[in-house]
């Protein structure tokens, strides 16, 4: 009788461990999830697309440059990724709406992950910025993230567990001697992430911001050497970060 009891107890414990393990795998698995990554053909966005697709996520991305987008889609197809893409100028209100209609159609009106990655910088002293520079930064960096989040809300809510990640910058937290408009948009993005995390928690939608420092991208290459060297000198690693390092955090 004791042997039978011990045998039954061991089976129960084994089954409980199996159930716990399956629950853990399910919780951390991205298989079957859907994602929109804005600006996914280069830099951090490209790395995020490949990171998510590598974990089995069905990803849609967008870019302004059609030829670059097609090159990336061809490359990703060879890797076996589940990826689609659209040409979209994220600074345009109507093009953002058109993109989200496409995403809704592709993913049956359910979106698991929204990565607000698209962004741009014109590095100038404040007194040299024009009205067009101001509008460019606001529409590309901040308005696009705000509007994409609004448009994605019903699809994120429909999954029962939606996630928004804003690709911000340390420029939204620290102070710099140039690029005041860019820094302001990233600071506003950080606050937007906080607000949406609070406001949309009731809909089971999480919102977070990732704020990288200097990352080895084409945007970094365009910065002034003195500014870049000053930034790198403050880093314990003594180098710029890599897009893949940001993607793994996302």
Active-site residue list = 182
Q: What is the DSSP string of 194-244?
A: HHHHHHTGGGTEEEEEE---SBSSHHHHTS-HHHHHHHHHT-TTSS-B-HH
In which element (H, E) is residue 247 found? Answer: helix 243-249
Tokens 């606001």 -> residue: 138
If phi > 0 it is left, if psi is from -120 to 50 it is alpha, else beta; for residue 43 that is: left
d(CA 177, CA 185): 16
Q: Which residues pair with 208 in a beta bridge?
A: 165
Q: What is the DSSP string of 11-24?
A: HHHHHHHHHHHHHH
d(CA 38, CA 114): 8
Signed CA dihedral, 147, 149, 152, 157: sign only? negative
Strand pairing category for 83-87 and 113-116: unpaired
Tokens 């979209």 -> residue: 88
190: helix, strand or coil: helix
Q: What is the CA radius of gyration of the chain?
A: 21
């Amino acid at each position: 009788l004791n042997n039978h009891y011990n045998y039954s107890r061991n089976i129960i414990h084994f089954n409980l461990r199996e159930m716990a393990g399956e629950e853990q795998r399910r919780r951390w698995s991205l298989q079957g999830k859907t994602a929109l990554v804005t600006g996914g053909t280069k830099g951090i966005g490209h790395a995020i697309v490949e990171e998510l697709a590598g974990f089995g996520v069905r990803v849609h991305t967008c870019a302004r440059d059609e030829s670059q987008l097609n090159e990336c889609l061809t490359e990703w197809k060879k890797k076996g990724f589940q990826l689609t893409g659209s040409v979209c100028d994220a600074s345009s209100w109507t093009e953002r709406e058109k993109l989200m209609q496409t995403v809704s159609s592709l993913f049956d009106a359910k979106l698991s992950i929204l990565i607000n990655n698209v962004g741009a910088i014109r590095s100038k002293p404040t007194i040299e910025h024009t009205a067009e520079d101001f509008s460019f930064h606001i529409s590309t960096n901040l308005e696009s993230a705000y509007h994409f989040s609004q448009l994605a809300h019903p699809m994120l809510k429909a999954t029962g567990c939606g996630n928004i990640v804003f690709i911000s910058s340390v420029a939204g937290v620290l102070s710099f001697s140039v690029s005041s408009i860019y820094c302001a948009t990233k600071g506003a993005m950080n606050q937007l992430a906080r607000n949406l995390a609070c406001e949309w928690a009731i809909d089971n939608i999480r919102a977070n911001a990732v704020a990288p420092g200097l990352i080895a991208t084409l945007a970094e290459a365009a910065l002034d050497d003195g500014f870049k060297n000053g930034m790198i000198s403050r880093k314990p690693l003594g180098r710029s970060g890599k897009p893949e390092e940001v993607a793994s955090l996302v």
